[in-house]
Chains A and B, each alone.
Chain A
Amino acid sequence: MKILVIEDNERVANFLKKGLTESGHTIDHADNGRDGMFLAVSEPYDAIIMDRMLPGGIDGLGIIVALRKDGNKIPILILSALSEVDDRILGLQSGGDDYLVKPFAFGELLARLDAILRRKQESSNESALNVGDLNMDLLSRKVTRAGKSVSLQPREFKLLEYLARHANQVVTRTMLLENVWDYHFDPQTNVVDVHISKLRQKIENGLTKPMLRTIRNAGYMLTVEA
């Protein structure tokens, strides 16, 4: 995908450029607000990674607000050293699609970038999610794996639904905490891991092909690929 990175810190920018290129994306970079704004409106990008604090007269939020006002719906991932809850809320309200606090782990950024890229494409009006032989009926809240019914508690269903919506993508623990439990803090213990283990037991049962994979240093992925 073609990604625009608007970031004034040289080291972070290089880090992003290298990492994202290695993951198969094409990167354009602007190190100030004015140039970033210019590129954003004149070139077609698939997503923008935007730092909030930018020199050049206009800051990250200003660019986002201007783009949205223009009707531009491009997925935007906000990067910021500003970590307070209000900052995050402001960022998302201004039109950002996700908010990542610096310093961040690259795996986290990559996972979230993929998530917002994917979000653009899918619609949320489906009544069922299918990943391989896993079937989730979103209306009746019933789950089957290879035809056999799987009994899940409401939170487990929500967890599986999120993984299914991001099938074949890396989903980090933080993403799960935020989207499945609405928790915006780090519980310091591997509580999420235990939830995943339990879910894995239920949907895999040892008999069928494993599909809930743990990605080292990154998170989890629901996938049928080997």
Chain B
Amino acid sequence: MLLLFATPIQYAWHEIVEERSTERLREDAQRLKNVLERHGSDSLKAVIDTLVEAQPEGDEKFILLADSKLARVSGNLPAWPRGLSIAPGTYSLSLDLHSRIVPSIFIETTLPGGYSLLVGRNTSKFKTVETLFWVGLLGAAGTVLVIAVFGGLLIRRALLAEVHDISQTVSAIIAGDLSRRLPKRDAANELDMLAQTVNRMLDQIEHLIHAIRNVSNSIAHDLRTPLTELRSRLEELVLTRPSTEETFVEIDTAVTDVDRVIAIFNALLRLAEIDNGARRSGFVEFDVATVVNDAVDFYQPLAELKGVVLAFSAISKFNAYGDPLLLAQAIGNLIDNALKYAKQEINIRVEASHRQDVAIAITVSDDGPGIPDAEKGKVTERFYRGDASRGTPGVGLGLSLVAAVAKLHGGTLEFANASPGLSATLFMFPELISSDPLN
């Protein structure tokens, strides 16, 4: 590469230098020619002798005046250089000066009277510089090459070391130690980015496995109750053997027990489905305000029955990308929950969120007893039932579902005090497609 660049540079430099040299030599030759023309050959001889004597150190000039037979007349060359033709022009040659060989450049001029004039200079200085140039270039190239190879080896060593570290950590993780993380070196290189991403993935996996373990525990614990009741009921039938009619009544109730258990399983399956993000494949564009409005309409008759007013307001139409059915179910759960505790009024609002990372806030506020601050974080856990919920139907999965739906849509479920009552807000949809305010 260097050679590729160097060659034209060198060539240009060479040309320029040569041109400058020959320019001056031409000037000199012209001056000498003028002397001959104005003052005659004797004057010229004298001038040449003077010039030769007054040569400055280090800049070796050659002048040779020769007659038509190429015999030396004057100058500091012993004879006409062997092999040099008579034709005027510019010549580079190596002068053989007894003790040394000198590279030089000459201007040859034909003077009136049959004289030939050679004016030249020693170009070894330039040659030296040229050589130096090439030496320097090759030296630089060589050094760069060596550094590159060496550096490459070093980088490769470092890389291999990092990769080795990563693979060791990963092996430990695969072997079961989920708490391990890849080391971060703050190197801000690609490997570090990879390490960070992998670490985040491991965080998520650990979280999910933790959640699964928790759920399994919850399931075991909370399904035991209805299953135990069911078993007792059936065993009692076997023990007491009541009349056929009574037996069938009990069996009917047993079927209801089983249905309850099945409903719990279905709800858990659905939660798992949502948590897995599998439902993202069903995302479509839809209007959030419409879906929430439909959910409000759905619960309207029930609210009327309980004497509670459902007040719905949406400031804009919100087109967003997500799962309208899941959203409907989530809002339904929030309204259903609110209906259990509300005294007179439930407010449902759909509006643009003021937070920077989410776009829509759907808030359901009731005027009931609310949730103590300590419980607010726990209510979305599976099977969690707060103190206020004693005596109300439900198994404790409703809010878990709402939280899961929010998360699936890139948001969260948050609770606040509505004073009185509880305000539950679904923040979601960072990918808002369009919103145009209604007038």
Contacts and interface: CB of A to CB of B under 8 A. Distances in A.
Interface in B283-329: 294, 297-299, 301-302, 304-305, 325, 328-329
Query: Main SS of the interface on chain B?
Result: helix
B1 interface: no
B278 interface: yes
B393 A85 contact: no
Interface stretch (B2-10, B95-103, B259-267): B259-267
B294 A189 contact: no
Contact of B279 (A85, A103, A105, A194): A85
A11 to B, nearest CB: 15
A93 interface: no
Given A191-B299, A191-B302, A181 B294 contact: yes
A188 B305 contact: no
B394 interface: yes
B336 interface: yes
Residues of A in contact with B, size category: 20 to 34
Interface string A105-140: 100000000000000000000000000000000000
B301 A194 contact: yes
A103 to B, nearest CB: 6
Contacts of B112: none
B282 A86 contact: yes
Interface string B341-359: 0000000000000000000
Interface in A71-90: 83-86
B398 interface: yes
Given A85-B279, A194-B301, A197-B301, A185 B398 contact: no
B393 A188 contact: yes
Contact of A186 (B266, B298, B304): B266
A198 interface: yes
B130 interface: no
A155 B394 contact: no
A187 B325 contact: no
B266 A83 contact: yes
Interface in B104-158: none
B301 A187 contact: no
Given A183-B328, A187-B336, A188-B393, A86 B302 contact: no
B211 interface: no
A198 B294 contact: no
B301 A188 contact: no
B158 to A, nearest CB: 47
Given A103-B262, A188-B394, A84 B329 contact: no
A188 B262 CA distance: 12
Contact of A198 (B263, B266, B278, B301): B301
A70 interface: no
B273 A84 contact: yes
Given A83-B266, A86-B282, A183-B325, A189 B298 contact: no
A181 B296 CA distance: 12
A188 B278 contact: no
Contacts of B281: 86
Contact of A195 (B278, B282, B301, B329): B301
A43 interface: no
A10 interface: no
Interface in A181-208: 181-191, 194-195, 197-198
B83 to A, nearest CB: 95
Given A103-B262, A187-B332, A191-B298, 18 more contacts: A83-B269, A84-B278, A85-B279, A85-B282, A85-B325, A86-B278, A86-B282, A155-B297, A181-B294, A181-B298, A185-B325, A186-B266, A187-B329, A188-B393, A189-B336, A191-B302, A198-B301, A198-B304
30 contacts: A83-B266, A83-B269, A84-B278, A85-B273, A85-B279, A85-B282, A105-B259, A181-B294, A183-B298, A183-B328, A184-B325, A185-B270, A185-B329, A185-B332, A187-B329, A187-B332, A187-B336, A188-B393, A188-B398, A189-B302, A189-B336, A191-B298, A191-B299, A191-B301, A191-B302, A194-B301, A194-B302, A194-B305, A197-B301, A197-B305
